[in-house]
């Protein structure tokens, strides 16, 4: 009887916490929609430039959010391009090759790395930029590449740990099935273990995408500026929505500029939702192909 009462209290507490979190989410999104929805229009994004010419990079956009949107997408793509291969390789090493005696040490290091504040990663990237500027190339300055590498380093522990956990969570029968048929360890990893754990690995990638899209502390120290236009190369300054939101909310001169900041928040959320949906779509397609092959 006492156990039943405790279970009911715990279930009620869990439901209450879930409702509080969901309510907070809807309140925040509702507040942003209330404040910024009226400001969402093509002029906010493209200003007086033709949308087609802006998207095809034929004309520059002045006083519009398109350069910040373009820079944000480039930043996310480059960060994930750097972090995913290294994260997957390290996660596979920890789960399949690393000796038990030192696995705990590497796991502890990556857990500590995951808890480092993003401003510290930003300072590290800025220090690397100063070092390269002084000792190798006087024309090297904070740029898109340094920001992407810093963000990739920031999300790397999430991808490593989710890959490791997803591989270690596989049942013993799955682990031994290909080996018992004569497959090598490398064949077993790439043909059986990775496809079977793809769902958990992609969850880590999805979380990394969200972290790359929203972080401001790293990019404000490593290359993001208020007005830069479309980045000409990975070695140039760039605009990004998180930095624009921070800049406009701290230095707005009238209510119209503040509304632009709220609208930029909505655009950033829409971009994140689009990326999450795309990632989940890729995850579903990969699962379907894997099940079809099996």
Block means of pLDDT (10 residues each) for the chain, 294 residues, are: 78 90 90 85 84 82 85 90 90 86 85 86 89 81 88 90 87 79 81 81 83 84 80 86 86 83 88 81 71 57
Establish if 117 belongs to a structural domain.
yes
Number of domains in the chain: 1
What pLDDT was estimated at residue 25? 87
What pLDDT was estimated at residue 23? 93
Domain that holds residue 289: 40-293
Establish if 102 belongs to a structural domain.
yes
Residues 50, 64 contacting (CB under 8 angstroms): no
The helix/strand/coil state of 220 is helix
Residue 168 contacts by C-beta under 8 Å, 6 or more apart in sequence? 95
Tokens 């079809």: give the residue. Answer: 292
Between CA 247 and CA 206, with CA 72 as vertex, the angle to 5 degrees is 120
Establish if 178 belongs to a structural domain.
yes
Establish if 266 belongs to a structural domain.
yes
C-alpha to C-alpha distance for 169 and 184, rounded to whole angstroms = 20
What pLDDT was estimated at residue 192? 81
Establish if 12 belongs to a structural domain.
no
Establish if 230 belongs to a structural domain.
yes
Establish if 21 belongs to a structural domain.
no
Element (H, E) at 195: helix 194-196
What pLDDT was estimated at residue 292? 59
What pLDDT was estimated at residue 16? 92
CATH code of the domain in which 274 resides: 1.10.3720.10
Establish if 92 belongs to a structural domain.
yes
């Amino acid at each position: 009887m006492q156990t039943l009462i405790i279970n009911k209290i715990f279930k009620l507490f869990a439901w209450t916490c879930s409702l509080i979190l969901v309510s907070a989410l809807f309140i925040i999104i509702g507040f942003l929609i209330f404040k910024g929805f009226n400001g969402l229009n093509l002029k906010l994004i493209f200003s007086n430039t033709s949308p087609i010419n802006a998207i095809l990079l034929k004309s520059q956009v002045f006083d519009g959010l398109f350069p910040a949107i373009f820079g944000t997408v480039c930043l996310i793509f480059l960060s994930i391009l750097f972090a995913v291969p290294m994260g997957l390789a390290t996660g596979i090493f920890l789960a399949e090759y690393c000796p038990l005696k030192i696995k705990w040490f590497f796991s502890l290091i990556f857990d500590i790395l995951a808890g480092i504040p993003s401003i510290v990663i930003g300072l590290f990237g800025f220090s690397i930029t100063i070092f390269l500027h002084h000792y190798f190339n006087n024309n090297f300055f904070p740029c898109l590449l340094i920001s992407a590498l810093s963000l990739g380093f920031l999300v790397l522990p999430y991808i490593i740990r989710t890959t490791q956990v997803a591989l270690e969570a596989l049942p013993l029968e799955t682990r031994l099935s290909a080996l018992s048929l004569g497959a090598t360890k490398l064949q077993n990893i790439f043909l059986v273990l990775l496809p079977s754990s793809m769902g958990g690995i992609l969850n880590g990638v999805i979380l990394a995408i969200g972290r790359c899209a929203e972080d401001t502390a790293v990019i404000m120290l490593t290359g993001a500026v208020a007005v830069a236009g479309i980045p000409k190369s990975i070695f140039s300054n760039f605009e990004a929505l998180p930095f624009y939101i921070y800049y406009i909310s701290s230095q707005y001169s009238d209510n119209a500029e503040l509304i632009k900041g709220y609208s930029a928040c909505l655009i950033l959320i829409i971009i994140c939702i689009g990326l999450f949906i795309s990632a989940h779509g890729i995850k579903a397609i990969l699962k379907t192909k894997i099940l079809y092959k099996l």
